[in-house]
């Protein structure tokens, strides 16, 4: 049975007693001439039952299959694992329709450098956070492998949560789940605590997921952690955090914290479990670490030629940048590299919204990816390495970089060619380009605000 898009289907499996099963695995064979590993997903029987694909006591169940090639006859292996350790296997063809993007974007990719057989890369799939609805999963051959009809107008504020995606609305305070099987969860309004909508990113938190939010009193200067029960677990309001801190140190916060102006522009906030803190990227100012529950300012990493550095209280928390000494400038997409260092996309754009006559900081004519080893005790941030594509690429807004366990990296230049294009590159551990894909970008950062690897080749759903 066809699903909501050609990338999704549902297969009726007969002759297997549901009560005797422990899990079911489907594997979609890679097309001839392609390099990406086969999509392979194991779904537990408990998950199939809880999502109404299987019923206890039955000998027939439905198996959701996703990651299919559009416009192809897919070859799919099915393996049923039983509680006694035995297995049953079958292979079936699944024919799919071609896919046409109604926006004329995601199906108009140009391969500038194809991935070749034998090239080592630590990931085979990634998803794009787009301005055109659900996230889109793409393989490293450059083929779309998953998306679904728009439950929202944008997936900028989204993250993968194990069996699908969690997304926040950019217009009202609600979250939406999108299952890989193509089922959109119910829209879930937040408990009434103040946010008016979500803004920018979702990332894993301590107990839920951290999303940027707007409040009536200010814009793009706060993050909250939410769970799937619609609860706001805790928040980081940088209006309050910086007002309290600067006041305690004798500075006038009203000169820096300017509600109603996009003075902070929070684009990512991530949880650091090593010391129970929140690290936030303020595009206009710096990267800042604060206590997760307390909000106390731990350190600041940023360009000392910007306006923030003129305040003694903020300057006192500034880390000294050593090593290659590239400061974060207009940065996006904080994450931790496999070795625990802090990775970010270093856009290179000076501040846009500083007070008239105040310093906006440095401008770089190209974007890089920067990695920092933070020593909070010594007060230093060693710029360990930078990735600088040759020829250099400019991407002053949005954009991302993610590194996986073997050192490979996925880099998203969201607004290249003066914003007309989006370039997504796969970089191997030596820094060599494995693939280079180019999409049109008709507006803003809509094509690929961020790009994130996803393990569709070995996905386990419990």
* DSSP secondary structure string for all residues of 128-164: EE-SSSS-EEEETTS-EEE--S-SSS--SSEEE-SSE
Domains contained in the chain, CATH given: 8-95 (2.60.40), 110-456 (2.120.10.30)
Structure tokens belonging to residue 169: 């609305």
Give SS3 for 255: helix
Q: How far is CA 112 from CA 359, 437, 443, in A?
A: 39, 6, 21
Question: Is the distance from CB of 235 to CB of 294 less than 8 angstroms?
Answer: no
Predicted model pTM: 0.96
Structure tokens belonging to residue 180: 């890989």
Question: Low-confidence residues of the chain, pLDDT below 70?
Answer: 186, 191-194, 216-217
Tens digits of residue pLDDT in 414-447:
999 999 999 999 999 999 999 999 999 999 999 9
Match 């392609």 to its residue by tokens.
34
- DSSP E strands, 259-309: 266-272, 277-282, 286-291, 297-302
Mark residue 57 as left, alpha or beta (left: phi above 0; alpha: psi -120 to 50; beta: remaining): left
- What is the structure's pLDDT at 174? 85
Which spans in 231-341 are helix H?
A: 238-248, 312-315
**CA dist., res. 215 & res. 222, Å (int):** 8
Tens digits of residue pLDDT in 175-184:
889 999 998 8
- What is the structure's pLDDT at 234? 84
**CA dist., res. 108 & res. 102, Å (int):** 11
């Amino acid at each position: 049975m066809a699903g909501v898009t050609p990338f999704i289907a549902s297969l009726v499996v007969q002759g297997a007693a549901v009560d005797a099963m422990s899990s079911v695995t489907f594997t979609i064979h890679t097309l001839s001439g392609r390099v990406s590993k086969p999509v392979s997903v194991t779904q537990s029987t408990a998950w199939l039952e809880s999502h109404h694909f299987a019923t206890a006591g039955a000998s027939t169940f439905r198996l959701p299959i996703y990651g299919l090639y559009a416009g192809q006859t897919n070859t799919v292996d099915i393996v049923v694992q039983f509680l006694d350790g035995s297995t049953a296997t079958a292979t079936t063809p699944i024919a799919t329709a071609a896919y046409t993007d109604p926006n004329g974007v995601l199906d108009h990719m140009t391969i500038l450098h194809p991935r070749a057989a034998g090239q080592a890369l630590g990931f085979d799939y990634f998803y794009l956070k787009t301005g055109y609805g659900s996230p889109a999963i793409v393989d490293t051959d450059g083929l779309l492998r998953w998306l679904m009809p728009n439950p929202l107008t944008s997936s900028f504020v989204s993250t993968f949560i194990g069996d699908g995606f969690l997304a926040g609305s950019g217009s009202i305070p609600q979250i939406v789940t999108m299952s890989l099987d193509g089922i959109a969860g119910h829209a879930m309004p937040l408990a009434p605590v103040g946010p008016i909508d979500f803004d920018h990113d979702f990332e894993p938190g301590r107990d839920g997921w951290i999303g940027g939010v707007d409040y009536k009193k200010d814009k793009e200067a706060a993050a909250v952690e939410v769970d799937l029960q619609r609860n706001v677990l805790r928040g980081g309001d940088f209006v309050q955090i910086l007002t309290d801190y600067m006041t305690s140190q004798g500075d006038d916060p009203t000169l820096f914290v300017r509600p109603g102006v996009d003075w902070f522009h929070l684009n990512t906030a991530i949880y650091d479990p090593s010391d129970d803190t929140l690290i936030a990227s303020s595009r206009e100012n710096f990267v800042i670490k604060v206590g997760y529950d307390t909000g106390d300012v731990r350190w600041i990493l940023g360009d000392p030629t910007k306006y923030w550095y003129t305040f003694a209280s903020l300057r006192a928390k500034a880390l000294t940048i050593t090593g290659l000494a590239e400061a974060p400038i207009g940065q996006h997409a904080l994450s931790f590299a496999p070795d625990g260092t802090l990775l970010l996309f270093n856009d290179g754009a000076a501040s846009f919204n500083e007070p008239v006559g105040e310093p906006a900081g440095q401008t770089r004519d190209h974007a890089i990816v920067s990695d920092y080893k933070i020593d909070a005790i010594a007060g230093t941030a060693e710029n360990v390495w930078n990735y600088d594509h040759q020829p250099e690429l400019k991407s002053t807004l949005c954009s991302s970089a993610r590194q996986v366990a073997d050192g490979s990296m996925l880099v998203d230049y969201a607004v290249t060619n003066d914003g007309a294009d989006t370039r997504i590159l796969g970089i191997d551990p030596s820094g060599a380009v494995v693939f280079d894909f180019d999409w049109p970008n008709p507006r803003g950062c809509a094509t690929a605000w961020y790009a994130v690897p996803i393990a569709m080749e070995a996905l386990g759903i419990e």
